[in-house]
């Protein structure tokens, strides 16, 4: 069976060495040595000022909203993983959708402007499949309207735009290090900011607001990453160049064989791309269902990322209709990609896709 992705497992002996360290110290969580080492290495690797590791990408978003004291309405994209919207609703904020651009699949700045009201406190865009949003446009809109910007950068590990890491845009960017992501720590995530005050606040928020043995400075939650997860991260980070090379060659292979027949995401020309997903856009939903069915008959399981469009969720009120997002989500399919997927397997997937659409 070929699944849409396969979690990267580093060399067992290397992971064992870190686990031995955990056993020797007896320190399992709460800012242990391995977590601090991973925070430093990631901040350096990505070229960011503050990177705070957390338990997962969803808590990264929730803590970011708290740190920036968001209220009322938040403008976001309907074309993303459920967590982008659910975290807003969970924090008592109202998600207000701005439709996407049909080529980049990212939130359309022109639509953002139309959705600003006197209750809007922030914008939460997503760099969909690692393709950077129009960050300069969004920055301008945010400045003019005194809004915070939190980028859900869950897909944008090691992506550069205009010569800078994409994580350096906005007030905060968040990453997910879930097992299915390009870089992972089993479960995990990170909050990135260049603001010292926000970074301090985030560190308190993720640890119950506790700042010393007898001091609780503020309200907080538990969003800590543990030492076992940090150990996995340290091992995966050692192999990240190889992981990226593998994904890149798979993506290029699919593109060369399929681009005459299906549509690929339009990638920002100013950006470096991390090739972490292989989304293909089909003609219509009927064609997508046919392709998906043929693949499944052959034990190949693609995923409908992202479906359904988040404006169809019934916990989001009032009802908002996003025609572009609904159209794209009805006919987009992510094909399998991971280190270890062979050319023979790729050829098989490609021939099944082509047989279903031509």
Ligand X SMILES: *Cc1c(COP(=O)(O)O)cnc(C)c1O
Cis status of the peptide bond prior to 240, with omega within 30 of 0: no
Q: In the complex with ligand X, which residue's Cβ is closer, 152 or 171?
A: 152
CB of residue 342 to ligand X, shortest distance in Å: 26
Q: Per-residue contact track with ligand X, 50 to 79, x per CB under 6 A?
A: ------xxx---------------------
Q: Rounded CA gap, 216 and 237, in Å? A: 34
CB of 247 to ligand X, least distance (A): 15
CA dist 48 and 199 (Å) reads 12
> Which pairing describes strands 160-161 and 164-165: parallel, antiparallel, or unpaired?
antiparallel
Compare residues 108 and 152 and give the one whose CB is closer to ligand X: 152
Q: CB nearer to ligand X: give 180 or 287.
A: 180
Site for ligand X contains 224 (CB under 6 A)? no
Shortest reach from residue 60's CB to ligand X, in Å: 7
Which is nearer to ligand X, 90 or 261 (by Cβ)?
Answer: 90
Work out how close the CB of 189 gets to ligand X at its nearest, in angstroms, rounded to a whole number. Answer: 5
The CA radius of gyration of the chain, in Å to the nearest whole number, is 21
In Å, what is the CA distance from 353 to each residue of 20, 188, 243, 284, 332?
46, 34, 25, 14, 13
Across 43-76, b (16+ Cβ under 10 Å) vs e yields: beebebebbbbbbbbbbbbbbbbbbbebeebbbb
Q: Are 191 and 64 within 8 A, CB to CB? A: yes
**Choice between 152 and 227, CB closer to ligand X:** 152
**Residue of this chain nearest to ligand X (CB atom):** 57
Minimum CB separation from ligand X for residue 185, in Å?
Answer: 9
Taking the least distance from each CB to ligand X, the nearer of 258 and 280 is: 280
Cβ closest to ligand X, residue 171 vs residue 229: 229
DSSP state at residue 168: G
Q: Contact, 206 vs 186, CB < 8 A?
A: no
Half-sphere exposure of 176 (CA within 13 A, CB side): 22
Interface residue with ligand X, options 39, 152, 171, 229 (CB under 6 A): 152
CB of 279 to ligand X, least distance (A): 12
Smallest distance, ligand X to C-beta of residue 356, A: 27
Among residues 18, 79, 81, 338, the one that binds ligand X under rule CB under 6 A: 81
Structure tokens of 343?
A: 């050319």
Site residues for ligand X, 319-348, by CB under 6 A, read: none
Q: CB of 151 within 8 A of CB of 177?
A: no
Least separation in angstroms between residue 171's CB and ligand X is: 17
- Select 120 or 176, whichever has its Cβ closest to ligand X: 176
Task: With CB under 6 A as the rule, give the number of residues binding ligand X.
Answer: 14
Q: Which is nearer to ligand X, 116 or 126 (CB)?
A: 126
- Report whether 98 contacts 321 (CB < 8 A): no
Using CB under 6 A, pick the residue from 126, 234, 271, 288 that binds ligand X: 126
Report the relative pairing of strands 148-152 and 120-124 from DSSP bridges: parallel
Peptide bond into 306 cis (omega under 30): yes
**Binders in 161-220 for ligand X, by CB under 6 A:** 176, 178, 189
Q: Pick one of 5, 76, 77, 84: the residue that binds ligand X (CB under 6 A).
A: 84
Q: Cβ(220)–Cβ(204) under 8 Å?
A: yes
Are 143 and 168 spatial neighbours (Cβ–Cβ below 8 Å)? no
Minimum distance from residue 221 beta carbon to ligand X (Å): 14
Chain positions contacting ligand X, by CB under 6 A: 56-58, 80-81, 83-84, 126, 152, 154-155, 176, 178, 189
């Amino acid at each position: 069976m070929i699944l849409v992705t396969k979690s990267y497992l580093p060399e067992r002996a290397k992971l064992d060495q870190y686990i031995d360290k955990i056993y020797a110290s007896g320190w399992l969580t709460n800012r242990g040595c391995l977590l601090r080492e991973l925070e430093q290495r990631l901040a350096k690797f990505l070229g960011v000022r503050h990177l705070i590791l957390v338990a997962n990408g969803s808590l990264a978003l929730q803590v970011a909203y708290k740190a920036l004291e968001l209220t009322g309405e938040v403008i976001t994209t309907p074309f993303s993983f459920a967590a982008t919207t659910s975290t807003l609703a969970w924090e008592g904020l109202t998600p207000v959708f701005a439709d996407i651009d049909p080529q980049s699949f990212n939130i359309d700045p022109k639509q953002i402007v139309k959705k600003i009201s006197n209750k809007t406190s922030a914008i939460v865009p997503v760099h969909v499949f690692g393709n950077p949003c129009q960050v300069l446009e969004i920055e301008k809109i945010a400045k003019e309207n005194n809004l915070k910007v939190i980028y859900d950068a869950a897909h944008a590990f090691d992506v550069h735009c205009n010569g800078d890491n994409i994580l350096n845009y906005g007030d905060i960017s968040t990453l997910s290090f879930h097992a299915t992501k390009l870089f992972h720590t089993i479960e995990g995530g990170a909050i990135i900011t260049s603001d010292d005050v926000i970074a301090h606040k985030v560190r308190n928020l993720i640890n119950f607001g506790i700042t010393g043995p007898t001091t609780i400075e503020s309200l907080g939650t538990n969003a800590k990453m543990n030492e076992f997860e940090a150990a996995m991260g340290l091992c995966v980070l050692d192999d990240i160049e190889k992981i990226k090379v593998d994904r890149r060659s798979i993506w290029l292979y699919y593109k060369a064989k399929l681009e005459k027949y299906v549509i690929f995401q339009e990638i920002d020309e100013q950006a470096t791309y991390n090739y972490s997903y292989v989304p293909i856009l089909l003609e219509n939903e009927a064609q997508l269902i046919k392709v998906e069915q043929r693949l499944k008959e052959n034990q190949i399981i693609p995923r409908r990322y992202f479906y359904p469009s988040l404006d169809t969720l019934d916990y989001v009120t009032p009802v908002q209709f996003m025609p572009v997002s609904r159209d794209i989500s009805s006919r987009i399919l992510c094909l399998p990609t991971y280190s270890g997927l062979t050319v023979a397997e790729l050829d098989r997937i490609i021939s099944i896709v082509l047989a279903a659409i031509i």
